[in-house]
Structure 1
Amino acid sequence: MAGGRVSDLSASEALHSTPARRYLAPDPIPDEVLWAILDTAIRGPSGGNAQRWGWVVVTDQQIKDQVAGWYRENWEAAYGRRRADILAAPPGSKGLSPRGFLGAEHLAHNLEKAPVWVLPVLRHAANATDPRVGASIYGAVQQLCLAARVHGIGTSLTTLYQGHEDELRALLGLPEDALTMALIPMGYPERGRWAQPKRRPVEEVVHWNRWGAVRAREGGR
């Protein structure tokens, strides 16, 4: 897929097989592929169709090196000291699995090597207190990830650079009212496979009319 050929995935196949891909090759993504992915992203939902967004594509190595340093600081504070405990967790434990931890750790140590980053930016959100502010952009972010999947490009969505928003705003030259909503490293997968992410059974997490009212799924998969 390194040539950018679009796969023959059905919509359902793409929706069921777009896990976070954290082992990314440094190979460049062709411009025409990147434009196609971004053009798909902006077709996603926007609150009131206001489109108060921007999409910052980062390929500059100096910017990536700076942000990756902040990211690793946060990774060590949040997960690094728990490494031994997470890797020793028995199968079936809740939270980050040992395999998932190793993938996330690899990304933390190699974030700046991903050929492209995309940072979705929301205007008039810098001082937002509404926890639902992301509703105006996260649907479009998921479309970006799905479009990348169709082109054979891996993505993951992270916010582990947080705590450096003012510095990041200055580094990227963002308007004062803008807030970055995520960092999405993109690249052709270096290892691993496209697989359906493991989730709790849908019957356990769907509630009918009132919380706690669950029911069996007829003809379930």
Structure 2
Amino acid sequence: MTDPADLPLLEALHSTPARRYLATDPVPDEILWELLDAAVRGPSGGNSQGWGWVVVTDPDVKKRIAGWYRDNWDRAYGRRRDEILAQPPGAPGLSRNGFLGAEHLAEHLEDAPVWVFPVLRGAAAATDPMTGASVYGAVQNLCLAARAHGLGTSLTTLYRGHEDELRELLGLPDDALTMALIPIGRPARGRWAQPRRRPVEEVVHWDRWGATRTRDTGAADA
């Protein structure tokens, strides 16, 4: 664990990649409460706070959900293993290292000491594509708080397709929908590094789509 006071905010924002190789050491309850307390400071539409947070440490519950996860992993990515690993460096999409990390998570998901499911009330029958807007800011708060404590996280929805079974397994209200699965633990491999992304200049548009600007970095270098 690390001291959160030692990590500047912008450094955390730039160095919180998905950490998929996690040690099995338990996460102390007092730290977990701090992460969740940071999560609920996130925004929600109209300050409705229609969320709940299900913390899972039960091995039997994790084992059942991990089975669904692996089935979905195999259908979405596992069958393309050779194809993905043969891609040249810099190719778009999942990199070789990214694939291997995601594969490891799929194979060892239940070994992560604690999982958190963000749950949104009233979302079970939602058709509004903006529904998740009222929870994902809080989810990022959770991940950043974990980073501050030296804990790794990743955000995945690859368990989906078993929502009714999951609702029963977790005892969720009928109107509730899980919005993600976040495994949390001490990183066992890798490092805190800036995630690989397209240059910001390629994806920012000014006043209308397609209107771009050259980024002036002179002030930052002065």
- Taking the aligned partners of 1:52 and 1:44, their CA distance within structure 2 comes to 12
- Taking the aligned partners of 1:23 and 1:92, their CA distance within structure 2 comes to 22
- Taking the aligned partners of 2:28 and 2:90, their CA distance within structure 1 comes to 40
Q: Which residue, 129, 132, 148 being the options, matches 2:130?
A: 132
Alignment partner, residue 78 of structure 2? 80
CA contact (8 A) 1:7 1:152 kept: no
Q: State the one-letter code of the partner of 1:11.
A: L
- Which 5+ residue runs of structure 1 have no aligned equivalent? none
- Taking the aligned partners of 1:73 and 1:34, their CA distance within structure 2 comes to 29
1:122 maps onto 2:101 in alignment: no
1:145-171 superposed Cα distances (whole Å, 9 cap, x missing partner): 000000000000000001000000000
Identity, in percent, stands at 74
- Taking the aligned partners of 2:166 and 2:5, their CA distance within structure 1 comes to 35
Q: State the one-letter code of the partner of 1:185.
A: P
- Taking the aligned partners of 1:132 and 1:20, their CA distance within structure 2 comes to 24
1:62-113 superposed Cα distances (whole Å, 9 cap, x missing partner): 0000000000000000001100010000111110001100000000000000
1:50 maps onto 2:48 in alignment: yes
CA contact (8 A) 1:22 1:106 kept: yes
Alignment partner, residue 35 of structure 2? 37
Q: Which residue, 104, 118, 139 being the options, matches 2:102?
A: 104
How far apart are residue 5 of structure 1 and its match? 3.8
Shift >2 Å, 4+ stretches: 4-7
Secondary structure of the structure 2 residue equivalent to 1:119: strand
Secondary structure of the structure 2 residue equivalent to 1:117: strand
Q: State the one-letter code of the partner of 1:150.
A: A
Q: State the one-letter code of the partner of 1:161.
A: Y
- Taking the aligned partners of 1:56 and 1:198, their CA distance within structure 2 comes to 30
TM-score, length basis structure 2: 0.97
- Taking the aligned partners of 1:216 and 1:32, their CA distance within structure 2 comes to 46
- Which 5+ residue runs of structure 2 have no aligned equivalent? none
1:177-212 superposed Cα distances (whole Å, 9 cap, x missing partner): 000000000000000000000111100000001111
- Taking the aligned partners of 2:78 and 2:123, their CA distance within structure 1 comes to 31
Q: Which residue, 204, 208, 211 being the options, matches 2:209?
A: 211
- Taking the aligned partners of 1:215 and 1:190, their CA distance within structure 2 comes to 41
- Taking the aligned partners of 1:166 and 1:47, their CA distance within structure 2 comes to 26
Q: Which residue, 184, 196, 199 being the options, matches 2:197?
A: 199
Alignment partner, residue 149 of structure 2? 151
RMSD of the alignment, in Å?
1.0
Q: Which residue, 65, 68, 74 being the options, matches 1:67?
A: 65
- Taking the aligned partners of 1:142 and 1:121, their CA distance within structure 2 comes to 14
- Taking the aligned partners of 1:169 and 1:7, their CA distance within structure 2 comes to 38
Aligned residues between the structures = 219
- Taking the aligned partners of 1:216 and 1:100, their CA distance within structure 2 comes to 30
Alignment partner, residue 11 of structure 2? 13
- Taking the aligned partners of 2:89 and 2:155, their CA distance within structure 1 comes to 25
- Taking the aligned partners of 2:88 and 2:152, their CA distance within structure 1 comes to 28
1:2-44 superposed Cα distances (whole Å, 9 cap, x missing partner): xx64350100000000000000000001111000010000000
Q: State the one-letter code of the partner of 1:162.
A: R
Q: State the one-letter code of the partner of 1:42.
A: V
